[in-house]
Amino acid sequence: MVRLRRIRQLAKSAARWLAGHVRGVLRSLGRGVEGLLLFALHPLESIGLLATFPVLAWRARALISEACGPGLIILTPDEAPLLRTAVTGLGDFTTSIVHGPSVTPGVVSNHFTRVRERLNPLQQALEAALRLHALLLATCTLLAALETSDTTASLPFRLVEGFLRGLAASLLWSLAFRIFAWLLARWAFARLREL
């Protein structure tokens, strides 16, 4: 009786663990679809993001290191600055101003454009990762769906088979992406902690 209860408890825990991962895979699949939609709506921007993904990821990493280290400093103008924004930690902003007639709306808008440009790699790297995931997911699904085993089968059968193959491939890809994200997150945690 006790053993049976234990087995039931174990089965429950295993089912919960599995359900958690299935939900994670489905979320990852959802993100892939979101990325595909973005890809369809902005194809040129997406291609550009994918082409520069390694550079963007590197820049985002450097940006976080700088902010968590001595602070990310943006000055306007470079010589004899009138405005200085320092981003310290994970996003405390300190802006210093030399108040006077030289601080015109033009200088201010120029300064914040520069700040946005400096912080841009963060957003772009995330966007690029999302679209890369979507592209690989779509390729994987399409390849699996087109790879039908029986060419003599009826069209409805082939359609259903193609759909099921595609679904299986996309789920497998999402699972692989989740494992990759988990490993990457572990690595990022270890690196960031060293900063």
- List contacts with other proteins (CB under 8 A): 16-17, 19-20, 24, 27, 68-71, 73, 75, 78, 81-99, 103, 105, 108, 112, 115-116, 119, 122-123, 126, 178, 181-182, 184-186, 188-190, 192-193, 195
117's CB contacts (< 8 A; 6+ apart) are none
Q: Which is nearer to other proteins, 20 or 43 (CB)?
A: 20
Q: Which is nearer to other proteins, 72 or 169 (CB)?
A: 72
To other proteins, the closest distance from the beta carbon of 75 in angstroms equals: 5
Spell out the long-range contacts of 172-180 with Cβ–Cβ below 8 A and sequence spacing 24 or more: 172/140, 173/32, 173/136, 173/137, 173/140, 173/141, 174/25, 174/26, 174/28, 174/29, 174/32, 174/137, 175/21, 175/25, 175/28, 177/28, 177/32, 177/133, 177/136, 177/137, 178/21, 178/24, 178/25, 178/28
Neighbours of 113 (CB within 10 A): 11
Characterize the bridge pairing of strands 83-88 and 72-76. antiparallel
To other proteins, the closest distance from the beta carbon of 192 in angstroms equals: 7
To other proteins, the closest distance from the beta carbon of 172 in angstroms equals: 18
Q: Which is nearer to other proteins, 58 or 182 (CB)?
A: 182
To other proteins, the closest distance from the beta carbon of 29 in angstroms equals: 14
Q: Which is nearer to other proteins, 142 or 171 (CB)?
A: 171
To other proteins, the closest distance from the beta carbon of 46 in angstroms equals: 18
Q: Which is nearer to other proteins, 40 or 192 (CB)?
A: 192
